[in-house]
Amino acid sequence: MGGATGVPNDSCDEYPFAGSGQGGQDGNQCVDITPRAVGGVWDIANVTVDRAAQPTPPYNAPCIRAHVDNKDNGDAGLEYGRAIQSDRIIDNEAFEVVIAP
């Protein structure tokens, strides 16, 4: 484990995706979270909120930054890029993110 968050090779991954029209927010506006690694995947249930503009929930921010392992962050970015290409999503086109268990 490394870094203040305890995440090995700590790297920040953001949502909405930085490459999307809604992404690319100033990181100081984001809520920073640290998910838990459970069974080889990042679990966001019962996350640790590391930093938020307001000290208590409900948090109201335009973005979330999760502290995850750098390799996982890179792999997620590659998967996002493949989805954009394979679905032929063009600049400023709306798309939906569905998270399935």
What is the full per-residue pLDDT of the chain (101 aa) written as tens digits? 444 567 778 888 887 787 787 777 777 778 888 887 788 777 777 777 777 666 666 677 788 888 888 888 898 889 889 989 999 999 888 888 887 76
Contact 68, 13 (CB under 8 A): yes
Question: What's the pTM value of the predicted model, to 2 decimals?
Answer: 0.70
Whether the CB-CB separation of 79 and 17 falls below 8 Å is answered with: no
Both tokens of 63, joined, read 């973005």
**How many C-beta neighbours within 10 Å does residue 17 have?**
20
Alpha-carbon distance 65 to 22, whole Å? 14
Question: Which amino acid is it at 80?
Answer: Y
pLDDT at 58 (0 to 100): 66
Distance from C-alpha of 11 to C-alpha of 8, rounded to nearest angstrom? 9
Bridge partners of 66, per DSSP, are: 13, 33
Q: What is the DSSP letter of 44?
A: E
User: What's the confidence (pLDDT) of residue 54?
Assistant: 66
